[in-house]
Structure 1
Amino acid sequence: MIALPDPNTISRPYRGLSLQDVAVDLDDTDAVTTYLMGREVYRRTRWLLLRNDARLALVEVRTADTLPLFAPVVELRVLAGPGRTTWLEDATIDVGNATALANAVDRVLSPNVDAYAVQGRYEHVNVIWRPEPVRVTVTEVIPPEPAKLYEMARAAIDFDEDLPPIDLVLDAVDLRELAREHRAPAYLLPCRGSGVDLPGDVAFLDTHPPARQDWLLVGCARSQQFHRHFYGSEAQQVDFCPSLRATDHLIGRVLTKCCMLERGVERHKDVVVVPWGSTLDEVRLALRLLNDLGPVAEDGHLGAARTV
């Protein structure tokens, strides 16, 4: 017997769903079965979205052979009838993307609905089954703003059509708050790129100030290494490493970064770490690992991953 789909299931690719206008009583499962059994469908079709006027039903079908272009249906299951299937239209939505679909239906979520059909961009149609977006916390240092890693994760989600619907949550390590909590006459920050304005004198490690000062280093382990190299001693420090914060204080799935990692991706159970200057491919791979998808093979190679 065909099992019910797992939550967040969509048709991948969306051409695996076929929208069919029919005159069948969609509340009558026997009538739907009689209509479809033995009927030819395209070999890639797995879901049929049947429409009778404004009423909808979602049916999963199996064929005896997937080699011919068309083959008769030999098994089917009505997954959701008219009472549990709903229709939305939003021309901005990429219906091949699970997160986009989940966002589109969020405003109409109901415990009484299982299947949400969305007509989106280019009038393409797809269905998402019982959406339950996966929460991923992104730990990042700000400023600069918007948080770069968070924005890169959003871009990767928009691109990768294998990912489940993801709910990104920003966990910001704010340099301004750290400075307020640790008052000092002078601060040393890793680089000018932060664009942060702190009370007191501010110097930047990447400019290699000529003389050591009595400053507070707001940085990470790599910054302290640079300081030792430049000045022969360690500075008083507030460590802002987002990776340490993620592994020590957060629960659930976490995407973060660390400058001690120069290339590739590391996984620590539910925490995946990318380099400070990560590529979009590395961020994409990290999100895939958090959802147990693994790297894309061959023409979609994403780089190396290491489990720690």
Structure 2
Amino acid sequence: MFDFDPSAPNILPSRYRQVALSTDLGSLDPAWLEQHFVGREAYMRTRFIVARCGRDTALVEVDRPASSKLFSPITGARVLADSTRCRYVVAPNVDCGVPSQLAEVAMGHRDVSCVVVEGRYSHVSFILNASPLVLRVLDIVPPFPSKLFDQVQRVLETAEDLPPVVVAPIFVDSRDKLLEDCNSLPGHVLIPCRGSGIDLDGVAVSYLDERPPLSDWTLLGCERSHQIHRWFYNTTPPTVDICPIRFVTENMAAEGPVLTRCCLMQEGVEERKLATFVPWGASLNEVREAIEAIVRRAEVAWTPT
């Protein structure tokens, strides 16, 4: 019989082939649905039925004796979400086999407990009682898009084996920090490399990795940039520090997990008090490793069925 609490968080099928679609029904009344499906045959993989009447939708779980037959009769049915708590969403770019993609859709429909998604390949699946982990990704911009935010999104787009995670970006614009710390834009700015993507109108810009002739500039960088500058020129210039550590606060960490980057790391993942860190040039594998560590520590509740 039925073996999970329908009020549990993050209930979703482990395979979308478990979900069948039944349209043009005469009613979505829970008692009617249960009576309608009991005794009918269902495909051997079917565990859930998305029931539709016009534009309205309900979610039904079905039970039947264990059998290796292609079809077998349904012996029990229960409505997990009636039509007042269920919404059908067409989202052609969403892979319904990825929990984080389903959760992202559900966050746009917080007024219902069950979101059924018709997604990529016309597959249909659902998430019930969506309560994803909100992962805050702190990164320095430009360049755009933020590399770390983009990498996290790319990892989660294919993470079929991770619980639902949605990403909340926290972007710190280094140009704003330059203006704030210097009160006005300096005449000459030294930045770590062209990959920083910084363009400042009316300001001379040099790139530390090109080892330009020493000049009267302001360094827009962090400790690694300081180290390189001292190596090149044996001096320490005026600096606007844009190390992400500067921007991770106690209050931020208290609200949930934070992922950011550190230029002093060469490889791997570091779980520190206020945030989880990956190297500035982190690989996708390192970003995934960091997300997995955060998920384990957060103990995200989910019910893959």
Higher relative contact order (CA 8 A, sep 6+): 2
How many residues matched?
290
| Cα separation, 1, equivalents of 2:73 and 2:269 | 46
- Cα RMSD of the aligned pairs, angstroms, is 3.4
TM-score, normalised with respect to structure 2: 0.78
Question: Which residue of structure 2 lines up, in the alignment, with residue 78 of structure 1?
Answer: 79
Q: Which amino acid aligns with 1:289?
A: A
Where structure 2 has 5 or more consecutive residues not aligned to the other structure, the ranges are 299-305
| 1:49 paired residue number | 50
Q: Deviations over 1:213-256 (max 9, x none)?
A: 44332211111121222223433322211144225563322121
Counterpart of 2:247 in structure 1: which amino acid?
R
Contact kept in structure 1, 2:141 and 2:172, CA below 8 Å: yes
Preserved contact between residue 100 and residue 159 of structure 2 (Cα < 8 Å):
no
- Map 1:1-308 → 2, pairs under 5 A: 2-20=4-22, 26-29=28-31, 32=34, 35-36=37-38, 42=44, 44-51=45-52, 56-61=57-62, 65=66, 77-110=78-111, 113-183=112-182, 184-198=186-200, 200-211=203-214, 213-246=215-248, 250-251=252-253, 252-268=256-272, 271-292=275-296
Q: Deviations over 1:124-171 (max 9, x none)?
A: 111111334433222112222222222222222222233444443332
Percent of counterpart pairs with the same letter? 35
In 1, the alpha carbon distance for the partners of 2:7 and 2:294 equals 21
Distance 2:23 2:204 in 1: 70
1:59–1:270 distance in 2 versus 1, CA, 3 Å: farther
- Alpha-carbon distance in 1 for matches of 2:13, 2:124: 10
- Please list the CA deviations of residues 22-47 of structure 1 after superposition, one character each: whole Å capped at 9, or x if unmatched: 968642438616843796652x5443
Q: 1:34 to 1:203 in 2, by over 3 A?
A: closer
CA distance in 2, matches of 1:221, 1:229: 12
Secondary structure, in 3 states, of the residue corresponding to 2:209?
helix
Provide Cα deviations, 1:100-132, integer angstroms capped at 9, x if missing partner: 33444555442xx32222222222111111334
Return 5+ residue gaps in structure 1 as ranges. Answer: 295-308
CA contact (8 A) 1:2 1:77 kept: no
What code does the residue aligned with 2:82 have? G
SS in 2 for 1:260: coil
Letter in structure 1 aligned against 2:236 = E
Structure-1-length-normalised TM-score: 0.77
